[in-house]
Amino acid sequence: MDQDRFVELAPDYALGLLEGEDLEQFERHLAAGCEACEVELGRMDAVGDALAYAVPLVPAPDALRDRVLMAVEADLASSKLAAAPAPQAAVRPPAPEPAPRPIAPPSEALRPTYSPGPWPPERPTSPGPPARGRGFLGGLAPALAFAGILISIVSGTYAYKLREQLALVKADLERVQADNQELARVMDVVGSQRLRVIALGGQPTSPKAQGRVLWSPDTKKAVFYAYGLPKPPPGKDYQLWVIQGSTPKSEGVFPVDDKGQAQHVLPEVPDPAGVGAFAVTLEPAGGLPQPSGQMYLLGSVTEKVN
């Protein structure tokens, strides 16, 4: 029997009209969990409830009420006689007949003993498929889901911390490499056979400041050191110059620590024969192509370098 046939039999089943083989087949089909038939039966239940409230209320006639009350009293009397113990040998006087119960006035009609519900009745929700046991794994599903979320959070946090640590390590390595490169350039200068030391003296703006330039004419490299320089104001940097004749050439800006100390590796000193002096000025942050600020250190090359 196909599905459409079972749906057609659902109204008859709801009204109790199915019999024989059709009844047995429909009940087996319903027990198998057919959602469409369950929905159809739910609709028929709603229709049956609606029919109960669709009929108008008609009060019973007064005479019918009286007859019903008399019949109920007669049934009660017969029930009492049946439940009474068997009569004894001694004859007892008959019990007086009970006084007749007054009958209510005819004007009091029978009142309905129920109140009609809302119309139209609420449509029942379609029954879902029969409940099935979730089993052991089904019961563990929420716990497993929570565990998966917790593992994801922990893994993400660990990965984030690991990335932070790797970034710090990378920055440290880059700093060490830069320091090593600077140290290697310093060692190249210090190890030169013709090392020159140029003294730079403080100027009126910084009389206590001193500086030294370790210069290797052979490699055209030099290292600058300074002591006692005041901390530059915001937006200003110290800039080192190599003066060739009367033309200054920038050798870059350099920082000064809280003790007034500075160290700077010069990128490249030009032709040694033309170098006349080294100087330090205070310039806008980042430096300028030509000096414009006050001079803080100055050191002349007294001996000609070939």
Cβ pair 258, 244 in contact under 8 A: no
Q: What is the pLDDT of residue 113?
A: 45
Residue indicated by tokens 């109140």: 115
Q: What is the pLDDT of residue 182?
A: 63
Residues 285, 288: Cα–Cα separation, whole Å: 9
pLDDT tens-place string over residues 60-103: 677 767 777 777 777 777 766 665 555 555 456 555 665 555 55
- Residue 243 belongs to what H/E stretch? strand 236-244
Backbone φ and ψ for 232, nearest 5 degrees, come out as -70, 145
Residues 185, 265: Cα–Cα separation, whole Å: 7
Other beta carbons less than 10 A from residue 216's beta carbon: 20
Tell me the pLDDT of the chain (306 aa) as tens digits.
Answer: 677 778 778 777 777 777 888 888 888 888 888 888 888 777 776 666 555 555 566 666 777 677 777 777 777 777 666 655 555 554 565 556 655 555 545 444 444 444 455 555 555 555 554 444 445 445 556 766 767 777 878 777 877 777 777 787 777 767 666 666 666 667 666 656 678 888 999 999 999 999 999 888 777 888 999 999 999 999 999 999 999 888 899 999 999 999 999 999 887 787 767 788 999 999 999 999 999 999 999 998 876 554
DSSP 130-197: PP---HHHHHHHHHHHHHHHHHHHHHHHHHHHHHHHHHHHHHHHHHHHHHHHHHHHHHHHHT-TT-EE
Residues 298, 202: Cα–Cα separation, whole Å: 7
Cα dihedral 15, 19, 24, 27, rounded to 10, equals 0
pTM equals 0.42
Residues 224, 254: Cα–Cα separation, whole Å: 10
Residues in the chain: 306
Cβ pair 242, 258 in contact under 8 A: no
